[in-house]
């Protein structure tokens, strides 16, 4: 560290300097950095949290990739069966990154009570079904157990239970019919669990039951299912894995990713990214402008010092570095307080769920989710630090225009 830099640092860090007119400007600059990082952390964490939770809810009911027969059916009801005698079942060994595959079948039905009725889709599942997602959704009771015998146990959504005045342990009749001229077939189900995914579009539609009922109603054999649901390890590779699965399945089978099936939902959640990028840009710009103002005030207030250093032979760049180092310190202070407060708020929301959506049905959940990741926290802090310093390089150029003689006489 050279002599003039040492002198400048001592002057800039002195008590007289801290109590000068620039002190309020410096505090505003630090506060702007802190507020900016808090807002950016919240925007990214909530945006990623919403995307992740909505994806989880859609995937819970459909899997990441669906394998079906080619047919003209576009409804939720399984019509053309697929044999489970496939090379990719029960383990999809030909494609890496596959976590699980399960066979399911769905059929439209009508729940009938003494005073009401409701159209639903019974999703039939078997012993290979992955209950992980529904374990998280379960609000009352337990998950059904499907053994050797055909079971009447089902789990029903909280939406349908409230709609039909059902409670845990109740039994109800469900009518199935493929022909309006024929008598409907009736199955008596018993509620052993109540789930709530928060995704009303699915909650008001699906109950989960034994696939053997669907097979019997459709006159299928025990080795036939309506479709296969495939779960992958990494959602970011969904398109890539969807293509690989398509190539690894027979030509008579169709493959559709969950993004293709529910394009409108995934297009909607991508808007969160655009909003987040906009917030980040605005916050960095506001913080940068505040730091530029603080730097200009520092330069103006230290004009005489600049003149003295120049008369001692200091170069313009060495003097500019003094102010840029000091600005970097102030930016670091703002980042420290911003991260301390911002991460504190995010962890409080994550573990205690303090904030909730005023209209949960619009966002498919009641509590505002947050996703905290070291990767984006580091990138955000480094990016903000570098961006603010780059913005300060141009205004620091004013130091080169200061004349030593005029600066020493400056008051």
pTM of the predicted model, to two decimals? 0.80
d(CA 331, CA 15): 20
Least confident range from 80-84, 147-151, 188-192, 207-211: namely 147-151
Q: What is the pLDDT of residue 291?
A: 85
Averaged over 194-202, what is the pLDDT? 89
Whether the predicted pLDDT of 150 surpasses 50: yes
pLDDT tens string 385-396: 998 888 888 887
With a CB cutoff of 8 Å and minimum separation 6, the contacts of 12 are: 298, 302, 322, 323, 326
Task: Read off the tokens for 385.
Answer: 């630090």
Burial class (CB in 10 A: 0-12, 13-18, 19+), 370: buried
With a CB cutoff of 8 Å and minimum separation 6, the contacts of 68 are: 80, 82, 226, 227, 228, 253, 254, 256
Q: 3-state DSSP call for residue 196?
A: coil
Whether the predicted pLDDT of 1 surpasses 70: no
From the list 24, 227, 187, the residue with the least C-alpha distance to 106 is 227
pLDDT tens string 357-391: 877 777 777 888 999 999 999 999 999 999 888 88
* Residue 141 backbone zone (phi > 0: left; psi -120 to 50: alpha; other: beta): left
* Dihedral sign computed on CA atoms, order 286, 290, 291, 296: positive
From the list 134, 82, 90, 132, the residue with the least C-alpha distance to 255 is 82
Asked whether the beta carbons of 186 and 177 are under 8 A apart, the reply is no
CA distances from 216 to 213, 221, 225 (A): 5, 8, 11
pLDDT tens string 57-71: 899 999 999 999 887
Whether the predicted pLDDT of 15 surpasses 50: no
d(CA 118, CA 113): 9
- As a 3-state breakdown, the chain gives helix, strand, coil percent values, each rounded to 5, of 55, 20, 30
Report cis status (omega within 30 of 0) of the bond before 264.
no
Angle at 123 between CA 120 and CA 125, to 5 degrees: 160
d(CA 208, CA 154): 5
Whether the predicted pLDDT of 399 surpasses 90: no
Q: What is the pLDDT of residue 171?
A: 94
Whether the predicted pLDDT of 203 surpasses 70: yes
| Average pLDDT of every residue of the chain | 86
pLDDT tens string 320-341: 888 888 888 889 999 999 999 9
Measure the CA dihedral 55/59/65/69, to 10°.
-130
Q: What is the pLDDT of residue 86?
A: 93
């Amino acid at each position: 560290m050279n002599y003039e830099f040492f002198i400048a640092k001592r002057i800039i860090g002195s008590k007289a300097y801290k109590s000068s007119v620039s002190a309020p400007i410096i505090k505003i600059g630090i506060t702007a950095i802190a507020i900016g990082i808090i807002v950016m952390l919240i925007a990214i964490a909530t945006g990623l949290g919403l995307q992740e939770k909505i994806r989880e809810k859609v995937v819970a009911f459909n899997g990441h990739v669906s394998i079906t027969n080619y047919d003209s059916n576009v409804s939720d009801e399984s019509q053309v069966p697929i044999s489970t005698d496939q090379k990719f079942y029960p383990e999809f060994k030909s494609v890496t990154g596959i976590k699980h595959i399960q066979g399911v079948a769905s059929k439209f039905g009508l729940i009938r009570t003494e005073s009401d009725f409701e159209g639903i889709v019974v999703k039939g599942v078997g012993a290979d079904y992955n209950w992980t997602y529904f374990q998280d959704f379960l609000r009352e009771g337990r998950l059904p157990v499907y053994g050797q015998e055909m079971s009447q146990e089902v789990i029903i959504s909280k939406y349908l239970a409230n709609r039909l005045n059902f409670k845990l342990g109740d039994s109800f009749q469900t009518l199935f019919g493929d022909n309006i001229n024929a008598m409907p077939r009736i199955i008596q189900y018993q509620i052993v669990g109540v789930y709530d995914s928060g995704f009303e579009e699915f909650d008001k539609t699906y109950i989960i039951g034994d696939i053997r009922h669907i097979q019997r109603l459709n006159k299928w054999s025990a080795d036939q299912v309506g479709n296969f649901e495939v779960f992958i390890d990494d959602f970011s590779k969904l398109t890539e894995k969807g293509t690989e699965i398509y190539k690894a399945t027979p030509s008579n089978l169709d493959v559709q990713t969950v993004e293709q099936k529910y394009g409108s939902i995934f297009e909607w959640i991508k808007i969160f990214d655009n909003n987040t990028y906009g917030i980040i840009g605005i916050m960095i710009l506001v913080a940068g402008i505040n730091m530029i103002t603080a730097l200009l005030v520092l330069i103006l207030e230290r004009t005489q010092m600049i003149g003295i250093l120049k008369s001692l032979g200091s170069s313009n760049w060495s003097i500019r570095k003094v102010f840029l180092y000091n600005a970097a310190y102030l930016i670091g202070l703002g980042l420290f307080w911003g991260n301390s407060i911002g991460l504190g708020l995010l962890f409080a929301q994550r573990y205690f769920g303090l904030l909730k959506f005023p209209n949960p049905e619009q966002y498919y959940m009641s509590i505002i989710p947050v996703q905290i990741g070291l990767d984006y926290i580091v990138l955000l802090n480094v990016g903000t630090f570098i961006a603010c310093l780059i913005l300060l390089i141009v205004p620091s150029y004013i130091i080169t225009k200061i004349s030593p003689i005029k600066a020493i006489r400056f008051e």
